[in-house]
Amino acid sequence: MALGFLTDANLSLYPGDTVIEKDVTLGNVTTVLILLVITVLAARNIPGVLEIALLQRLPLSIGGRYAFTTLTQYGIVGAGLVAIFDIVGLDWSKIQWLVAALSVGLGFGLQEIVANFISGIILLFERPIRVGDVVTIDNTTGMVSRIRIRATTIVTWDKQELLIPNKDLITGRLTNWTLSDKMSRITITVGIAYGSDVALALKLLVEAATGHEEILKDPAPFSTFEGFGDNALTLVLRAYVGSLENRLAIVTALHRAINDKFNAAGLSIAFPQRDIHLDASKPLELRLVSRRG
């Protein structure tokens, strides 16, 4: 046959110290190359096909679909490697020395990479964070956009992409604002002048919150008198919103509503000031001092 040379040519493998002949034909090599290409194409395309054809129709969150497609991709790559090793005749007894050598190398030079890889697997299975979650780490807040083998990408509100090593997300301090509930609380502190009607001010704060359509009725907004400040009586409004999407716009609307209601009621929002008392029991002494340059 014209392609008979693919099965007639033999190669020899010499693993370890003992010479062991293993027939590896050019046909085997061709099969390995074809299987390698199929594995790469499958790992790239099958997760996307599953996402479009199946996962979008199931009641799964964005993070759940992402975890499923990522693990599917890892599984395809692993299955492809096992099939390739089987074709070339590699088994555990023949590659254990290589694994042992790699283990030593990983223990010294690649331990951070391995730690990040394992942490990435933990993130996908345990799911303390998911794609689409709003998280805070090291005083930086943003939305999780990708979870990869080595690092997780977080997009801040300034549209900056931060690459956080997966190990830091597992071992460090992390706040997930949307892990089990997207509800969040808005806190607004207001200082009114001494002598103002505190009861009226507290009532107006609650009215300003209940008048906004995106403020939740349950739990209901409430206001408290927190204490006596240096220049003002400190009041605090606490209200809840269903998500973080329009948080800044809601805070702005509440500030405007509070300012309008206080102005209409004649309540003054205090500002820092200092009172200077002069001793008027006797005339003030004035001294003119001349300085010679």
User: What's the chain's Rg over C-alpha atoms?
Assistant: 34
Residue boundaries of the structural domains of the chain: 5-109, 125-176, 184-265
- pLDDT on residue 156: 93
**pLDDT of 216 over the 90 cut:** yes
In tens, the pLDDT along 250-281 reads 999 999 999 999 999 999 888 777 777 766 67
Cα–Cα dist 274/77, whole Å = 71
Which range has highest mean pLDDT (117-126, 227-236, 273-282)? 227-236
Which of 230 and 86 is assigned the larger pLDDT? Answer: 230
Q: Which CATH architecture has domain 184-265?
A: 2-Layer Sandwich (3.30)
pLDDT reported for residue 212 = 93
| Backbone torsions φ then ψ of 211, nearest 5 degrees | -80, -10
Select the more confidently predicted residue: 202 or 52.
Answer: 202
Burial 4-39 (b: 16+ CB within 10 A, else e): eeeeeeeeeeeeeeeeeeeebeebbeebbeebeeeb
237: exposed, middle or buried (C-beta count within 10 Å: 0-12, 13-18, 19+)? buried
How many angstroms separate the first and last alpha carbons of the chain? Answer: 112
Average pLDDT, the chain: 81
Residue 170 three-state SS: helix
More reliable by pLDDT, 153 or 16: 153
Residue 67 above 80 pLDDT?
Answer: no
* DSSP-based three-state secondary structure for 128: coil
CATH number (2.70.150.10, 3.40.640.10, 2.30.30.60, 3.40.50.1820) of 125-176 reads 2.30.30.60
Q: Is the peptide bond before 283 cis (omega within 30 degrees of 0)?
A: no
Structure tokens given for 218: 């349950």
Sign of CA dihedral 37, 38, 43, 44: positive
pLDDT-based confidence at 231, cuts 50/70/90? confident
- For residue 290, pLDDT beyond 50: yes
Under 8 Å between Cβ of 192 and 198: yes
Q: Which comes out higher in pLDDT, residue 7 or 172? A: 172
**Of 272 and 169, the one with more pLDDT:** 169
Q: Rounded CA gap, 40 and 48, in Å?
A: 13
Q: Return the ∠ at Cα 28 (arms to 23 and 32), rounded to 5°.
A: 135
Domains 125-176 and 184-265 share a fold: no
Provide CB contacts within 8 A for 268, sequence distance 6+: 192, 193, 196, 262
159-175 mean pLDDT: 90
pLDDT in tens, 11-30: 444 455 554 555 667 777 78
- Confidence check: pLDDT of 96 > 70: no
List phi, psi (to 5°) of 159.
Answer: 65, 30
pLDDT digits (tens, 9 = 90+) for 180-207: 888 999 999 999 999 999 999 999 999 9
Higher pLDDT, 287 or 213: 213
